[in-house]
Structure 1
Amino acid sequence: MKLALAQIDVRAADRDGNVERALDAIARAAADGADLVALPELWNVGYFAFEAYERRAEPLTGPTLTRLREAAREHDVALLAGSIVEDLAESAAAGEAVPDDDGLANTAVLFDADGERLAVYRKHHLFGYESAETRLLTPGEALPVVDLLGFRVAVTTCYDLRFPEQFRALADDGADLVLVPSAWPYPRVEHWRTLPRARAIENLSYVAAVNGSGSFEGTDLLGRSTVYDPWGTTVASAGDDPALVEARVDPERVAAVREEFPALLDRRDY
């Protein structure tokens, strides 16, 4: 399976431009043979544009996800639509299951190549360090793991990388490919290099961390979207400029590594 991480240029106050850049990246990845394309965290609004969250929030059936669903179908690719600021009240009114019937959430959605919604993941761990996320957003509750292109696929979001117990729970549910839409900024480059790699090593799974590129009121996203294999080896990566990070991933490799080095079988309860 060919995976493409769309490290797009995310600009505050440019939602239309962000959407067009995302659609262009999806089209280019599909033309290059991608089976699954992934977008970053809050790419349509900009993670650090906190004052715009409420104004730009949408339900799951809103215009951004509708356009991306159509793009998945048009280009015949599965698509992790990054994450958006979800209006939970509007989603609830449309009959969606939500963690709260009011407020906002940082919500990632996974579509298959027919545009069918496979999974909705709302960010569990809300970032409190110099961030308004904990004040503005409601954390998610569900940890979906779904079958896609031969993999058991799960989604986590950015700050979740710092909480290994979440990734272990996903591994226990069979996840062998974890997609991590992110908006990771400078200066924490070494954290970004280390955490997704560690999550891959300790769970013997692929971890694909897709970050944005761009600046927000003096905060720069560091890019470096990367795919790690079950040994923690870098399969493909980028610098801090916009890029498509493309990699071949194989569920049989996960099975082979777990058979060769069955560390998960040696766990003890504490």
Structure 2
Amino acid sequence: MQAHSFTCRWEETRPTACLLIEEVGLKISVAAGQFPISFAITENVLYILSMLEQVEPDDLLVLPEGAISGYNEDSRFLEQIDRRLLADAIERIAEVVKRKQVHLIAGSCLEEEGEWYNAGLYFSPRGERALYRKVNLATGERGHFVAGADLPIFPLHFAEGSVNVGMQLCREIRFPEQWQCLAQRGAELFVYITNAANPEVKPDVWRSHLVSRAAENQRFVLAANTAHFVQHCPSMIIAPDGEVLAEVTGEETRLLRATLDLAQTGNWYLSQCRRDVVSMYYKGELVRTSIRSV
């Protein structure tokens, strides 16, 4: 591992409590892309830039876990990451996002003050950024990554209105309470990014998890996975009623597209939870994450 440390400029402020904002009739155009993620950062960036060129201004594009830095279940790969190259790649992507006037969420390993995080990075059309640090680390990540400590809500500002987004990474698909917490705190759209390619895992299980997370919370799910022949979770766009709007599996490099009508989201089921019997307490900060210029 290189002796020096390079920390990217990702900043957050936490000003106000987050409430669900109902945007009646608001529609947004979204895309989920999958490509074969590797440890070659330059190659990953070329795929990302290619997909950015395929979306339109004001679109939201979502790309997989580790899309920029690369990712592997054996976390010792962190020792080989060129920090300067990774930082330059992030800056280049940010420039293209701003030029294209799109929204991008992509995964990357990220070093902050000498500690590595498995993160979801948000780039706004105005040059602003924010990130989600994975809360529930995989077994192989522990001891290499630091776990995040809260579940932020990201307000994304589109031409016709704002949408509150909650992110989850990889194995967090197995913890529905985190998703419900995000929905209760105002998330209208779930973004799920993963690098799931394990031949020992039954693919139908993770697919069913995603459908359940959408239907039980009445939220859209926008999911992106790496393109791989043993992929065990498809890239998908799912409606709040559990309908799969678009899907791709396997090693195909592809961009899924859909127009989401946020009026389809709701709190019918969440409002009927028996809080007198089962109550969920969130220990993180009950606030909205601000998206800052850098």
**C-alpha contact (below 8 Å) 2:204/2:232 kept by paired residues:** no
Question: If the length of structure 2 is used for normalisation, what is the TM-score?
Answer: 0.76
Residue 24 of structure 1 aligns with which residue? Answer: 50
**C-alpha contact (below 8 Å) 2:58/2:101 kept by paired residues:** no
Question: SS of the residue aligned with 1:28?
Answer: coil
Find 2:35's aligned residue among 4, 8, 16.
8
Judging by fraction of residues, say which structure has more helix. 1
Matched to 1:29, the amino acid is V
Find 1:267's aligned residue among 273, 276, 280.
273
Shift in Å, 1:138: 0.6
Shift in Å, 1:42: 0.6
CA distance in structure 2 between the partners assigned to 1:68 and 1:176 by the alignment? 26
1:213-232 map, 5 Å = 213-214=227-228, 220-222=230-232, 224-232=234-242
Change (3 A) 1:58 1:179: farther
Shift in Å, 1:238: 1.0
Uncovered stretches (5+) of structure 1, i.e. residues with no partner = 90-101
Q: After the TM superposition, which segments of 4 or more aligned residues of structure 1 sit over 3 Å from their partners?
A: 220-223
Residue 94 of structure 1 aligns with which residue? Answer: none
**C-alpha contact (below 8 Å) 1:29/1:244 kept by paired residues:** no
**C-alpha contact (below 8 Å) 1:70/1:115 kept by paired residues:** yes
1:1-270 map, 5 Å = 1-12=28-39, 14-30=40-56, 35-48=59-72, 50-56=75-81, 58=83, 62-80=87-105, 82-89=106-113, 102-117=114-129, 119-128=130-139, 132-148=140-156, 149=158, 150-187=162-199, 188=201, 189-214=203-228, 220-222=230-232, 224-240=234-250, 241-255=252-266, 258=267, 262-269=268-275, 270=278
Percentage of identical aligned residues: 26
Question: If the length of structure 1 is used for normalisation, what is the TM-score?
Answer: 0.82
Change (3 A) 1:77 1:127: same
Residue 99 of structure 1 aligns with which residue? Answer: none
Matched to 2:260, the amino acid is V
Change (3 A) 1:70 1:223: farther
Shift in Å, 1:52: 2.5
CA distance in structure 2 between the partners assigned to 1:56 and 1:84 by the alignment? 11
Matched to 2:257, the amino acid is E
